[in-house]
A and B are shown apart, each in its own frame.
Chain A
Amino acid sequence: MSNRPRTSRTVQEGPTLPAPRGPLSTAVLHRLRHPGVPHPAPDTATADPYGEDLQLALYTCYELHYRGFEGVDADLEWDPALLGLRAALEERFLTALRADTPAHKTLSDALEDLLVEPVDTPGAPTATGVSHFLRDEGAPEHLREYAAHRSLYHLKEADPHAWVLPRLWGRAKAAMAAVEFDEYGGGRPERVHARLFAGLMTDLDLDTGYGHYLDATCAEMLANVNLMSLFGLHRSLRGALVGHFATVEITSSPGSRRLAEAMRRAGAGPAARFFYDEHVEADAVHEQIVRRDVIGGLLEQEPELEEDVTFGIDATEYLEGRFGERLLAAWRAGRSSLRTPLPPAPEALVGASRTGQDI
Chain B
Amino acid sequence: MPYDSAEGPCPQDGGGTASGAPRRITMGRTGPILMEGPVEVETEDGTVVSSDRFRVALCTCRRSRRFPWCDTSHRRRARTPE
Contact = CB atoms under 8 A, between A and B. Distances in A.
Interface of A: 115-120, 126-128, 178, 181-182, 186, 253-254, 257, 280-282, 284-285, 287-289, 292
Contacts of A281: 53, 66, 69-71
B78 interface: yes
10 contacts: A128-B82, A253-B71, A254-B75, A257-B71, A281-B53, A281-B69, A282-B53, A285-B34, A285-B70, A288-B32
Given A178-B55, A280-B72, A285-B56, 19 more contacts: A115-B76, A118-B79, A119-B78, A119-B80, A120-B77, A126-B79, A126-B80, A186-B52, A186-B53, A253-B72, A280-B66, A280-B71, A281-B66, A282-B53, A284-B69, A284-B71, A285-B53, A289-B34, A292-B26
Nearest to A121: B77
A257 B69 CA distance: 14
B54 A118 contact: no
Contact of A116 (B31, B34, B66, B75): B75
Task: Give the size range of B's interface with the partner.
Answer: 20 to 34
B57 A254 contact: no
Contacts of B69: 281, 284
Among B34, B53, B65, B80, max chain A CB count under 10 A is at B80
Contacts of A118: 77-80
Contacts of B71: 253, 257, 280-281, 284
A288 B34 contact: yes
A104 to B, nearest CB: 12
Given A284-B57, A284-B72, A285-B70, A117 B32 contact: no
A285 B53 CA distance: 9
A128 B53 contact: no
A126 B55 CA distance: 34
Contacts of A182: 53-54
A285 B77 contact: no
B78 A285 contact: no
B78 A284 contact: no
A253 B77 CA distance: 15
Nearest to A186: B54
Given A281-B66, A281-B69, A128 B56 contact: no
A186 B54 CA distance: 8
- Ranked nearest first, the 4 interchain pairs of A and B with the lowest CB-CB distance are A253-B72, A284-B70, A118-B80, A285-B57
